[in-house]
Amino acid sequence: MFTKVQIKLTLLYSLLFLSLFWAFSFSLYFWMTKSFGEDYISQVKERHSQLGDTDDFEDVKTTVVTVAGDIALEQLFALLLVINGVSLLVVPTTSWFLVKKSLEPIKVAHEKQKQFVSDASHELRTPLAIIKGETEVALKKTRTIKEYKNILKSSNEEMVRLSTLVENLLFLARENPKNNINFSENVDLTDLISNIVFRLNPYIKEKNLKVTLKSPSENLVTRGNKQLLGQLFYNLTDNAIKYTPVKGNITLDMVRDRNWAKISVRDTGMGISANNKSNIFDRFYRVENSRSVIKGYGLGLSICQSIVNYHSGKIFVKSRLNKGSEFIVLLPI
């Protein structure tokens, strides 16, 4: 598809530039012919008569001027011919490379989009296949109430996973959320984060983790969308819980750093290798060793990245394999 577009655009640009080139050359040649023609000679004659030259001398001069004009025109013609000949080769080649270069980012975005759709379809297929299989097996014969309950419970779990996935996909597919989301709410980050820790408490207890919340004496308040900021810190805390082994430590630290609210989510978990650090914010990217053991879609951090961008903030990660990770978020105050 892109090669076709590249060929078409190259032809179009070449035609445009060559037409301009040729039109300019013709105009120049035409104008020069006129200038070196009768007008020019009559002007020379007039000058000579003013200076009082003899007729003989005037004739010789006129002939010299005419011949000089013809030679100059011939040379100009040859030059324009060479330039236009070279342009026949140079213009299409240059256009080809320029078009290729300008199409490159569109090509990358297209590839990413294709990958996103294919990954999304793949992830949607798994829970759907489980629900389909379970219900088909359930319908094959009459079952006890307990069996039906188990099947319904398992299907319900898959449906919850499915709806979370669909919600995440819809979030990432949004074109320009700035238009219909209120980003000017006053958000008390201290309250927001304490609330998230409270909501995640069952999972914290399940893994016997120690969570420490450090906040400044004065509550940190930023402007933005409360729901989205809640999702941002929920995803980061959820990751810290998921990727930290039993009895580990998690620290949520909030400080004011000049005009920024700096929030860090630190854990003593499995950490991320230097190779993987640059990819973890990509959609559907999961580090291989966590993929097999811990459930997830690899969308949480790309959602975090989008939310931070909408709030004109920054997010970065520091991590050491098997030592722990720290995700730092900076939000303007």
Ligand X SMILES: Nc1ncnc2c1ncn2[C@@H]1O[C@H](COP(=O)(O)OP(=O)(O)OP(=O)(O)O)[C@@H](O)[C@H]1O
Write out the residues near ligand X by the rule CB under 6 A. 235, 239-240, 243, 267, 269-272, 280, 285-287, 290, 296-302, 325
Structure tokens at 30: 């035409």
Closer CB to ligand X, 232 or 254, in the complex? 232
Q: Which residue has the tokens 């810290």?
A: 240
Stretch of residues binding Mg ion (CB under 5 A), selected from 73-81, 156-164, 233-241, 257-265: 233-241
Does 239 participate in binding Mg ion (rule CB under 5 A)? yes
Half-sphere exposure (Cβ direction) of 215: Cα atoms closer than 13 Å: 13
Site for Mg ion in 262-301 (CB under 5 A): 300
Site for Mg ion in 123-182 (CB under 5 A): none
Residues 124 and 105: their CA atoms lie apart, in Å, by: 28
Does 324 participate in binding Mg ion (rule CB under 5 A)? no
Residues facing residue 260 across a β-bridge = 257, 332
If we measure between CA atoms, which residue out of 273, 215, 207, 195 comes closest to residue 240? 207
Smallest distance, Mg ion to C-beta of residue 218, A: 31
Angle, helices 38-51/2-36, rounded to nearest 10 degrees: 30
Partner in contact with 243, chosen from ligand X, Mg ion, none, beta carbon below 5 to 8 Å by kind:
ligand X
Q: Which helix (H) or strand (E) holds 206?
A: helix 201-206
SS3 200: coil
Partner in contact with 183, chosen from Mg ion, ligand X, none, beta carbon below 5 to 8 Å by kind:
none
Closer CB to ligand X, 10 or 239, in the complex? 239
Smallest distance, Mg ion to C-beta of residue 303, A: 9
Partner in contact with 80, chosen from Mg ion, ligand X, none, beta carbon below 5 to 8 Å by kind:
none
Residues facing residue 18 across a β-bridge = none
Half-sphere exposure (Cβ direction) of 19: Cα atoms closer than 13 Å: 6
Closer CB to Mg ion, 36 or 327, in the complex? 327
Smallest distance, ligand X to C-beta of residue 231, A: 11
Closer CB to ligand X, 58 or 326, in the complex? 326
Closer CB to ligand X, 224 or 300, in the complex? 300
Question: In terms of C-beta density within 10 A (0-12 exposed, 13-18 middle, 19 or more buried), how is residue 259 classed?
Answer: exposed
- The string over 60-86, giving b where at least 16 C-beta atoms fall within 10 Å of a residue's C-beta and e elsewhere, is ebeeebbeebeeebeebeeebeeebee
Residues 49 and 43: their CA atoms lie apart, in Å, by: 10
Smallest distance, ligand X to C-beta of residue 265, A: 7
Smallest distance, Mg ion to C-beta of residue 269, A: 12
Contacts with Mg ion, residue ranges (CB under 5 A): 239, 300
